[in-house]
């Protein structure tokens, strides 16, 4: 193919300006494409193994007519040498995968395709795996590096996360083996016994005495446990909502005048909208948060430069763990301010809410609906009543008791 063709710069720019949709041949397999919507681009067409193929070279804004012709010549040269240009492009992309971070970026789209919540492995990789091995070259990661990564997570008391991280490491490096980027999996020899152990169903719930100690300690040490985190924990105990439902809540979901929070279906785990009654104490805490929010649309806006405009998924658990004397990634660890109290997580506060509802005499079916659990068995099939009034009474009683504990 020569460096001259049927098209001219003037003709190309005219077609863009007049939005003349179509495919225009320059010769030698090169085409200029003006789509009905979107940006104009260059494309090369060729035949390989008796099949017609098309390959995009780039947008017109990034690639001039002269450069497009040069690229087309290069692709046709590959074809004459017996190499499919599309295959060559894929190989070049794979060769750009050099570090563990690169490998994760290549693996993540497969997670998005098959998982309902792909952000969970992404968060664990970003927070707990990448700081240790993300910048390492793929073939230089050793079993010792994997052990160091898992041990660091274990030392923070997050045994379930240690198990998850090990599982994701195994899958990630298996992906690398599939791409012929490494010969063995550095995480292969480890089992869950080396990480968090066989997971048991969590039963941790806080007693009233533990809640009182926690809130007193958190209030006293506001320099390490912010007032917003403190109020978030109060709300989690009183309302029994899930962490993400609260941390990502927007003010337009709340009807403070009618004392309800209308959780939208798209943010509910059950994919069904849910109305949550708000006790007077809860309204007071929300009004305080309104001041902290400074006109943000989120109840808990992000306080740091972040891609997310709201409180992060790990913020509360990290703050709680810090009170217990552990801060991930820090050589000098903070003091343990919680004494011999067993460690707990944010989700344990939801379990605590359910336990306290039972202790105050709330009927089981009402308590289950307070936590937005679906009723089980025959009752769940036929009983569609939402128990809003009963739930309001239960949450009012619980909120009054919790408010008394944190004074």
* Sequence spans of domains, the chain: 9-92, 100-194, 208-405
- Report percent pLDDT > 90 for the chain: 58
The pTM of the whole model exceeds 0.85: no
Could you report the per-residue pLDDT of 90-144, keeping only the tens digit for each? Answer: 777 667 888 999 999 999 999 998 887 888 899 999 999 999 999 999 989 999 9
Predicted confidence at residue 305, as pLDDT, reads 67
Is pLDDT above 70 for 383? Answer: no
Task: State the pairing for strand pair 41-48/51-59.
Answer: antiparallel
3-state secondary structure the chain: CCCCCCCCHHHHHHHHHCCCCEEEEEECCEEEEECCCCCCEEEEEEEECCEEEEEEEEECCCCCHHHHHHHHHHHHHHHHCCCCHHHHHHHHHHHCCCEHHHHHHHHHHHHHHHCCCCHHHHHHHHHHHHHHHCCCEHHHCCHHHHHHHHHHHHHCCCHHHHHHHHHHHHHHHHHHHHCCCCCCCCCCCCCHHHCCCCCCCCCCCCCHHHHHHHHHHHHHCCCCCCHHHHHHHHHHHHHCCCHHHHHCCEHHHEECCCCEEEECHHHCCCCCCEEEECCHHHHHHHHHHHHHHCCCCECCECCCCCCCCECCCCHHHHHHHHHCCCCCCCCCCCCCCCCCCCCCCHHHHHHHHHHHHHHCCCCHHHHHHHCCCCCCHHHHHHCCCCCHHHHHHHHHHHHHHHHHHCC
Average pLDDT of the residues in 207-231: 94
> Distance between CA 301 and CA 399 in Å, rounded?
24
* Start-to-end C-alpha separation, the chain: 83
Fold of 100-194: DNA polymerase; domain 1 (1.10.150)
Average pLDDT of the residues in 249-273: 91
Average pLDDT of the residues in 11-15: 90
Is pLDDT above 50 for 74? Answer: yes
Is pLDDT above 70 for 4? Answer: no
Is pLDDT above 50 for 256? Answer: yes
> In terms of CATH, what superfamily is 9-92?
Integrase, DNA-binding domain (3.30.160.390)
The strand order across the sheet containing 51-59 reads 22-27, 30-34, 41-48, 51-59
> Distance between CA 141 and CA 188 in Å, rounded?
12
Predicted confidence at residue 299, as pLDDT, reads 95
Least confident of 63-67, 154-158, 169-173: 154-158
- Structure tokens that stand for 154 in this block: 């274990």
Q: How confident is the model at residue 378 (pLDDT cuts 50, 70, 90)?
A: very low
Average pLDDT of the residues in 293-304: 90
Mean pLDDT value across the chain? 89
Predicted confidence at residue 70, as pLDDT, reads 92
Average pLDDT of the residues in 376-395: 70
Predicted confidence at residue 198, as pLDDT, reads 66
Look up the CATH number of domain 208-405: 1.10.443.10
- Report percent pLDDT > 70 for the chain: 94
Are 381 and 234 in contact by the 8 Å Cβ rule? The answer is no
Q: How confident is the model at residue 167 (pLDDT cuts 50, 70, 90)?
A: very high
Predicted confidence at residue 379, as pLDDT, reads 46
Nearest to 164 by CA among 189, 197, 130, 204: 197
Q: How confident is the model at residue 406 (pLDDT cuts 50, 70, 90)?
A: confident
Q: How confident is the model at residue 390 (pLDDT cuts 50, 70, 90)?
A: very high
């Amino acid at each position: 193919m020569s460096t001259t063709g049927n098209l001219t710069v003037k003709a190309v720019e005219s077609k863009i300006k007049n939005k003349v949709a179509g495919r225009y041949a320059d010769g030698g397999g090169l085409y200029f494409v003006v789509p009905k919507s979107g940006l104009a681009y260059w494309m090369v067409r060729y035949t390989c193994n008796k099949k017609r193929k098309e390959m995009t070279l780039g947008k017109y804004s990034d690639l001039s007519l002269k450069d497009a012709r040069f690229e087309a010549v290069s692709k046709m040269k590959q074809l004459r040498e017996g190499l499919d240009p599309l295959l060559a492009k894929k190989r070049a992309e794979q060769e750009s995968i050099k570090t563990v971070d690169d490998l994760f970026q290549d693996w993540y789209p497969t997670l998005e395709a098959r998982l309902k919540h792909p952000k969970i492995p992404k968060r664990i990789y970003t927070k707990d795996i990448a700081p240790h091995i993300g910048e390492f070259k793929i073939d230089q990661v050793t079993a010792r590096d994997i052990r160091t990564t898992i041990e660091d997570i274990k030392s923070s008391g997050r045994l379930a996360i240690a198990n998850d991280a090990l599982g994701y490491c195994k899958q990630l490096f298996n992906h690398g083996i599939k791409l012929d980027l490494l010969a063995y999996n550095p995480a292969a020899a480890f089992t869950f016994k080396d990480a968090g152990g066989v997971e048991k169903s969590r039963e941790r719930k806080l007693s009233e005495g533990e809640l009182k100690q926690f809130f007193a300690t958190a209030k006293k040490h506001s320099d390490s446990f912010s007032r917003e985190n403190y109020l978030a924990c109060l709300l989690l105990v009183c309302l029994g909502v899930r962490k993400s439902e609260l941390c990502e809540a927007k003010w337009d979901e709340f009807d403070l005048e009618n004392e309800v929070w209308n959780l939208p279906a798209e943010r509910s785990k059950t994919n069904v909208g849910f109305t949550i009654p708000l006790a007077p104490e809860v309204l007071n805490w929300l009004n305080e948060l309104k001041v902290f929010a400074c006109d943000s649309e989120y109840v808990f806006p992000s306080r740091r430069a972040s891609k997310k405009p709201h409180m992060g998924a790990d913020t509360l658990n990290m703050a709680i763990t810090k009170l217990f004397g552990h801060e991930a990634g820090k050589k000098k660890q903070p003091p343990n301010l919680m004494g011999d109290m067993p460690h707990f997580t944010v989700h344990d506060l939801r379990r605590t809410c359910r336990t306290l509802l039972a202790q105050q005499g709330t009927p089981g079916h009402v308590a289950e609906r307070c936590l937005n659990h679906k009723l089980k068995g025959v009752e769940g099939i036929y009983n569609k009543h939402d128990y809003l009034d009963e739930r309001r009474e239960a949450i009012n009683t619980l909120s009054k008791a919790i408010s008394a504990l944190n004074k």
